[in-house]
Structure 1
C-alpha cells in the first residue's frame, strides 16, 4: 500500500498514473503566497466545490494564511476547521485509499511537505426525485417510492421506524463497482440464524460488479435453479417498514430502487400493499378472488385440454356440443391450438412491456383483437380457446407482484403439455410434482409453504384472511407473509 509522500510531485505523479485516460478526474494545483503548494483532486460531475471555493480557496489565494500560524500543520488545521461546517473531513495516509475516495466523489487535498491527505466528503450528483412507484401502485397509502440513491432510501426507512434497534450494516460488493449494500433489520425481531446466513453469503460474493439488486438475489438465494423466487423485491418504503416489523431483513443496494426482502413464503407474492390499507372485510373477499385467479392462471388451459380431449363425459352435453361445433373447422388438435394462442398472448405481452409507453397498450389491444378475430374467422383457432386464453391472462394480471406471476407462465406450458398427453392423470401428476417442489423449498430457513406446511395456526390468520389490527396479537418473529 503506497503511503502519502511529503513530496507533492511524487503524490501527483502516482495519482496521475492511476488515473491515466480518465478525462473526468480533475487535478487542480493552487499556489499560495509564501506557503506550500496545494493539490486538489476530484471527480468532475460528482463533487460539490462551490462551498470550498467561496469559503476557503478564495480567501487563501488572496490573503494567504493567518499570521502567526505554523506552515504545514496550520494549513491542514485550517482546512479541517473551515471544512468542518460544510462536510465530514478526515485524513488518509494511503494514496490507494485516496484513489478510492476520489472515485466515490470525495475531494482529496494534498499539501507540499505533509504526509497525509485530507478527504472532504462533498459528493454531489444528479439523482431522480422521489416519485410514486410505477410497479406497485396502490389506491391508498404512501405515494413515495425508492430511488437510486442509497442514503435517500435508508432515510425513508428511518423516517418510518424511529427506534434505536433498527440496524443498518454496510457491505461493499463488486471488484470494480464497489457497490454499497446495506442490510437493514430490527434487532430482537429478526432471527439471528437468518442474519448470520445473510452475512455469510454476502461475504462470499465474488463478482466484478453489482448493477442491480437482482445480482445479489441470484447469489444468496437458497435454490438458484428453482423458478420460484425466494426473495421478494419492492420499491415501496412502507412495505419495507412493515416487513421489518414482521421480523424480515431488507437489503438496500446503491444504484437501484428495488429493495430485497427475506425470508419470504409462497403467499407473500399473492399479497398486496392495499391489503393493509383497506378495510379487512373487503380484503378477505379480494384475497379469496386472488387465490382463485392464481390457480386459474396456470391450470385453466390444461383443464380445458384435458376435458375436451380426454374426458368429454365430464362436460355437460349441451356445452360439449357447442365446443365441438366451434372446433369443427379447426385443422389443429386442441393442445396445439391452445399452445399457439398462449405463445401469441405472451408475445403481445412482451411487446406491450418493451415498446414506448404511448405504443405499448395500443399494440397489445389492437394486436389481440386483430389476430384473435382473424384467426377465428379463418378457422385456425376456435372461439372457446380465445375465451380460455383471455381468462387465463386476466387471472395472471390479478397477481399483485410481477415476479410472483412469472413462475405461473412457465408452469402453464408444462401443465398444458402433460395434460395434452395424459389428460387429468397428467394434470394430477403435475400438481403433485409442483407441491413436492414447493414443500421442499426454503427461504433462509423458512419453509416456502409455511404456515400451511408446516401448519402454524397463529401465523395462518394473516395468510388467507386479513384480521383487524385490534384482533392481531403478538408478532411473527420468523418473517411471516406480508
Structure 2
C-alpha cells in the first residue's frame, strides 16, 4: 500500500481497538508487577521534587525502619502529621501493642489495632503503591516487608461547588459538578440514596491514569447498554485523557456526523434524572462535565428547567425552542431561495420594499448571506474567546456599528441584516452548545443549495439531513426516537410536550429498561 494511501486510511478510518500512539517504554515498567520494595519506589520517584519521603523508626521487638511517601500538594498534611506520624512516633511509644511488633506482623498489627482511619488498605505490588502515591494517597513502607499500607489522605485544593454557567435555573438547585471526581460522586449519591446506584471505577490514559466512573441504576438501565459502555471505555488506549471530549470522540458511534450523539451536563440533579430514566453517566476526574448515554435528538432541545416549571409553561417553552431551532436552520436559505427564484410568492408591497432595500447592493443574495454569516461567526468566536468585558463590547460593536455601516455603504440590504440577526438569536434558543454548533454548520450547505436550486435545493438538503439523522444510533438507540421509530406514549409524555408528573407513570420507551414503571406520583 502506498504511503500516502496508508496515511489517508489512518486519518479517516477508526480502528477497532481505540488506540492512539503507543505509549513510550520506561525502564521501571517491568518493575510495576513485581513484589513491593520501598527502596525501589524511592529510586523511581525521588527525581520528582514534589514527592516527599519521611523516614522514621518503630521500636517493637525489632527496630523497624519505616518510610512514609506522599506527593506534596495532593495530600492533607495535617492528617498525616496527627493520625500517622504523631500516633506512631509519640502517642504509642512504649504501648503494649507496639512492643509486639516485628517485621513479619507490623503491617497487620498497624492496620488492625494501631492506626485509626477510615481509608486504610494493604498493597503488595509496585504498581499499586506507585499509583496510590501519584493519585494523592500516602503509602507507609515497613523495612523489607513485601506489603505496605495505603492511607487515604487526599486533600488538594478545588474550585468548590458553584452554579453551572451554561445550565442556570430559577427554581431548581443551584449547584454544579466540580473538577474533583469524589466530590461529584458524593453529590450524585446525595440525590439518589439507594443501593441500586452503581458506580464502577476505571482508569483511562496510559500516562495520565485518569480516574473515571461509570454510573447507572441497577434493574433500570439496560444491561446491554451498560456492558457496551464499559467495553468501549475499557478499550480506549491513549497517552492521556484530559477532558470529556477525549472520551466522547472515542466512544461515539458516528465520528464524522456533525450532530452530537452523547449528551452532557454539569448538574447533579440532571444526571440523577437521566439515570432514573435508564441512561448511563460517565464521570471523569478533572472536569465538571459528565457525559450521558445514550442520547437522542429531542433530548438536546429540552432543559432541566422544564421539570421545575408547571407542565403548561414547560410546553410553551419547548415549543419556542423547537421553533427557534427551525428558524436557525432554515431562515437564511429560505430568504435566499425566495429572493432569487421564487419572487412570485412574495406579496407585492413586500417585494417592492425588498427591491428598494437591495438597490445598489453589488452582491447576489447567496454571496450576501454567506458574507454576513461568516462575519457573524467571526464575531461570535471573538466574543467567546476574549475576556468577558471585551467580548461583550465586541458583540455590541459588531452587531450595531458594523451592521449599520454595512447597510449605509450598500454592501448588504437591511432585510439581510434582519434575517441574519433573527437567525443568530434563534440559534441561542438551542440549549445545548454542541447542537447549536451542528445547526450553524448545516446552515452553510443549505444556503448554497438554496442559491443554486431554490426551494428544490432546500428540499434536497432537508431530505439528505433527515436520512442522515435516521441512520444515526447512540449506543444502539435510534437517534430520532420517539419519532422514528414512532412511540406515541413517549411523544405525549416527555418529548414535544411535558406531561404533569402525576401522569408520568412509565419511564421513557426509548430504552430497553428492565423496570418500565417509574416511582413518581400516580403510579399504580
Q: TM-score range by the shorter chain?
A: over 0.9
Q: TM-score, normalised by structure 2?
A: 0.87
Higher relative contact order, chain-length normalized (CA < 8 Å, sep 6+):
1
| In 2: Cα distance, 1:224 partner to 1:83 partner | 54
Alignment of 1:394-413 (within 5 A): 394-413=425-444
Give the aligned partner of residue 50 of structure 1. 78
Residue pairs, 1:375-454, within 5 angstroms: 375-454=406-485
State which drifts further: 55-64 or 300-309: 55-64
Using the TM superposition, give the Cα deviation of residue 197 of structure 1 relative to its aligned residue in structure 2, in angstroms.
1.4
Cα distance per residue 1:145-170 (max 9 Å; x no partner): 01111111111111111212111111
Q: Aligned residues, how many?
A: 474
Distance across 1 between alignment mates of 2:484 and 2:89: 73
Q: Once the 2 structures are TM-superposed, how far is the Cα of residue 37 of structure 1 from its aligned partner? A: 1.9
Whether 2:170 is the aligned partner of 1:139: answer yes
CA deviation after TM superposition for structure 1 residue 333, in Å: 1.0
The answer to whether the 8 Å contact 1:172/1:180 transfers is: yes
1:25 match: 51
Q: Which residue of 1 aligns with 2:29?
A: none
Matched, 1:369 2:397: no
Supply the distance in 2 between the matched residues of 1:59 and 1:200 (Cα, whole angstroms): 45
Question: How far 1:61 moved relative to its partner?
Answer: 3.9
Are the equivalent residues in 2 in contact too, given 1:326–1:382 (CA < 8 A)?
yes
User: Which residue number in structure 2 is paired with residue 127 of structure 1?
Assistant: 158
Counterpart check, 1:66 vs 2:98: no
Alpha-carbon distance in structure 2 between the residues aligned to 1:331 and 1:393: 24
**1:317-356 equivalent positions in 2, closer than 5 A:** 317-356=348-387
Q: How far does residue 212 in structure 1 lie from its aligned partner after superposition?
A: 0.9
Q: For residues 79 and 139 of structure 2, what CA distance do their matches in structure 1 show?
A: 15
Are the equivalent residues in 1 in contact too, given 2:84–2:115 (CA < 8 A)? no
User: Structure 2 matches for 1:52-451, cutoff 5 A?
Assistant: 52-58=80-86, 60-62=88-90, 64-67=93-96, 68-73=99-104, 75-77=106-108, 79-81=110-112, 84-451=115-482
Q: Give the distance between the partners of 1:151 and 1:300, measured in 2 at CA.
A: 46
Contact 1:218 1:224 in 2 (8 A): yes
Which residue number in structure 2 is paired with residue 8 of structure 1? Answer: none
Alignment correspondent of 2:35: 3
The one-character-per-residue Cα deviations of 1:158-191 (angstroms, maximum 9, x if unpaired) are 1111212111111111101111211111112111
- 1-structure distance, mates of 2:399, 2:341: 29
Q: Secondary structure at the match of 2:63?
A: coil
Query: In 2, are the aligned partners of 1:442 and 1:448 still within 8 Å (CA)?
Result: yes
Cα distance in 1 for residues equivalent to 2:50 and 2:237: 28
Is residue 65 of structure 2 the alignment partner of residue 37 of structure 1? yes
CA 1:435–1:83 in structure 2 vs 1: closer, same or farther (change >3 Å)?
A: farther
- In 2, the alpha carbon distance for the partners of 1:97 and 1:65 equals 32
- Indicate if the aligned counterparts of 1:169 and 1:184 stay in contact, CA closer than 8 A: yes
Alignment RMSD, CA only? 1.8
Runs of 5+ in structure 1 lacking a partner? 6-10
CA distance in 1, matches of 2:511, 2:165: 26
Contact between 1:51 and 1:86, CA under 8 Å: does it hold in 2? no
Note if contact 1:19-1:25 (Cα within 8 Å) is conserved in structure 2.
yes
Q: Is the 8 A contact 1:83 1:120 kept in 2?
A: no
- Structure 1 CA distance for aligned equivalents of residues 87 and 285 of structure 2: 37
Question: Is 2:470–2:479's contact at 8 Å kept on the other side of the alignment?
Answer: yes
Give, in angstroms, the shift of residue 96 of structure 1. 2.7
Residues in 1 aligned to 2:47 and 2:301: alpha-carbon distance in whole angstroms:
51
CA distance in structure 2 between the aligned counterparts of 1:270 and 1:84, rounded to whole angstroms: 53
Residue 88 of structure 1: how far off its partner (Å):
1.3
Aligned to 1:476: 508
Q: 1:75 Cα shift? A: 4.2
Contact in 2 for aligned 1:26/1:43 (Cα 8 Å):
yes
TM-score, normalization by structure 1: 0.94
- Out of 468-477 and 206-215, give the one that drifted further: 468-477
User: Which stretch shifts more, 73-82 or 381-390?
Assistant: 73-82
Residues 367-390 of structure 1: per-residue CA shift (max 9 Å, x gap): 221110111111111101000000
Q: What aligned pairs does 1:447-462 form with structure 2 within 5 A after superposition?
A: 447-461=478-492, 462=494
Say if 1:125 and 1:395 are closer, same or farther in 2 by CA, change over 3 A.
Answer: same
Distance 1:399 1:83, change over 3 A: farther
Q: Distance in 2 between the 1:31 and 1:65 partners?
A: 13
Deviations 1:277-323 (A, max 9, x none): 11111221221121111011011000000000111111111111111
Distance 1:194 1:59, change over 3 A: closer
Q: Distance in 1 between matches of 2:118 and 2:383?
A: 47
Q: What is the DSSP-based 3-state SS (H/G/I as helix, E as strand, rest coil) of the residue aligned with 1:37?
A: strand
Contact 1:87–1:122, Cα closer than 8 Å, also in 2? no
